[in-house]
Amino acid sequence: MKPPQKLHPTLAAGRIDQNKINHSGTTAHEIIRYLEDEIETLRKKNDKPLDEFKTAWLRGRIAENRTLLAKIKPNTDVSVENMSRS
């Protein structure tokens, strides 16, 4: 699945109202699946020996994807304690 070319202004601004998301809809499921796959791919890349800048960049991308996933997927824990898998 290809990522969207342009984010909706609400997503781009970080304003997502959980009450307006149809969690049972196919769009939400596709976005969740994409984000989970992307997080897993980034984690695998981060498991390889990398310099500190590449590692920091990958961890930042993982954190970004996890934060967006938490806004879309109910009951997703993105606390600092749970970020250790990054």
User: Model confidence at 4, in pLDDT bands (50, 70, 90)?
Assistant: very low
User: Model confidence at 86, in pLDDT bands (50, 70, 90)?
Assistant: very low
46: containing domain: 24-74
The residue that leads in pLDDT, 70 or 15, is 70
Query: Within 10 A of 19 (CB to CB), how many other CB atoms are there?
Result: 5
Residue 66 lies in a domain: yes
- Domains held by the chain: number: 1
Residue 9 lies in a domain: no
User: Model confidence at 81, in pLDDT bands (50, 70, 90)?
Assistant: low
